[in-house]
Amino acid sequence: MKLRQLEYFVAVAEERHFGRAAERLRVAQPGISQQIKILERSLGTELFIRGSDGVQLTESGEALLDHARLVLELADRTQEIPRLVARGKAGLLKVGTAAVHVHPVADQVIGRFRERFPLVEVELHPGFGPSLVDLLRRRALDASFVNAPLEDGAGLRYLALGALEVRVAVPEGHRLAALDRIPRAELLKERYIAMPRATDPSLVDHLRTQVFGRAEIPKPVEVADATLETRLRLVAAGEGFTVTVRPEEADLQIPGVAYRHIDGRTPTVEYGLAWLDSAASSFVSSFVETAERIVAAGSSDGAARRRGATQEAS
């Protein structure tokens, strides 16, 4: 078995098509087909079910895919060893984070891990939920901070870290800016600037349910640009309102935007750490342990504050 054969196999498995895999790898399709057949003969089993419109993985192919991805990622990282050694590092950990803002507890986890393991280089890879999960599955990431619920969390390990409040961003001169807490019924009268659903379907659906319930949104506007900054600039221009997960907006400092709470039950988005038991880095367990310590410490502090408040009240 050769690395090139595994590379071809993974490309075909992900594209579900020999032709698209060939385009992706910029090689001739007959070469890929031949190498896959050689791989299948050497393993003594078929990896794909061929069809006129593409291919599907067999049970053996499904079993091989995760292992093949891991082997390829390990091979790539082996080439990085000289660079790491030259920088005085002894290991590498690739971590996915939110595209706009690293969550508060996530920032603590990263900082604490770097303190505990200064010889490990921590690479941060910003992105959106589905793309981060996909990179985890491809073994291109070792762990990732994600928002819950996950679109496809099957097979992933997950540790809840906390929750962030969802707030409303309205133009500063808007009538609703005079309110500290905006009723949901009032929001339904206004133009809603929505995050593109394709960016993170589970998160977008969760936000919609948390903010609007089952009510129909009469004036939704879905912008092509997925970034929060684009939506906030549209808000500043008076085009409507949007929802934000604090404290993301704090770093943007876009003038003309007012942030307000939502009246009634406070909408929130949970975030946490996701990982796979088998990863290219041997430091994943230590990273998860660091996160668990911080969560446990936070729970203890919260319990102590609640006990203190109870004693004062009595």
Read off the pLDDT of residues 126-179 as tens digits, 9 standing for 90 and up.
888 788 998 998 889 999 999 887 777 677 899 999 988 999 999 999 999 999
Among 29-38, 115-124, 132-141, 143-152, which stretch is predicted with the lowest mean pLDDT? 143-152
CA distance to 11, 140, 193, 229, 260, per residue, from 223 (Å)? 32, 29, 7, 12, 22
From CA 162, how far away is CA 244, in angstroms rounded? 16
Per-residue pLDDT at 150: 79
pLDDT category of residue 16 using cuts at 50, 70 and 90: very high
Among 28-42, 50-64, 145-159, which stretch is predicted with the lowest mean pLDDT? 145-159
* pTM for this predicted structure: 0.77
From CA 247, how far away is CA 107, in angstroms rounded? 13
Alpha helices in the chain (DSSP H): 3-15, 18-25, 29-43, 59-78, 81-86, 104-116, 129-137, 184-187, 201-212, 228-236, 284-313
From CA 144, how far away is CA 191, in angstroms rounded? 34
CATH top class, domain 3-69? mainly alpha
DSSP assignment of 204-249: HHHHHHHHHTT---SSEEE-S---HHHHHHHHHTTS-BEEEETTGG
CATH topology of domain 81-161+271-313: D-Maltodextrin-Binding Protein; domain 2 (3.40.190)
Per-residue pLDDT at 302: 47
104 upstream amide cis, omega within 30 of 0:
no
Do domains 3-69 and 81-161+271-313 share one topology? The answer is no
Half-sphere exposure of 78 (CA within 13 A, CB side): 6
Read off the pLDDT of residues 197-206 as tens digits, 9 standing for 90 and up.
888 888 888 8
From CA 152, how far away is CA 130, in angstroms rounded? 8
The pair of structure tokens assigned to 104 is 């508060």
Q: What is the mean pLDDT of the chain?
A: 86
From CA 5, how far away is CA 10, in angstroms rounded? 9
Choice between 243 and 298, residue whose per-residue pLDDT is larger: 243
Q: Where are the domains of the chain?
A: 3-69, 81-161+271-313, 163-269
DSSP assignment of 162-215: EEEEEEEEEETTSGGGG-SEE-HHHHTTS-EEEPPGGG-HHHHHHHHHHHHTT-
Per-residue pLDDT at 306: 41
Read off the pLDDT of residues 215-272 as tens digits, 9 standing for 90 and up.
887 667 777 776 788 888 999 999 999 998 865 555 567 889 999 999 999 999 899 9
CATH code, 163-269: 3.40.190.10
Q: Which of 6, 42, 12, 39 is nearest to 24 (CA)?
A: 12
From CA 32, how far away is CA 25, in angstroms rounded? 10
From CA 212, how far away is CA 194, in angstroms rounded? 12
Q: Identify residue 95 by its one-letter amino acid code.
A: V
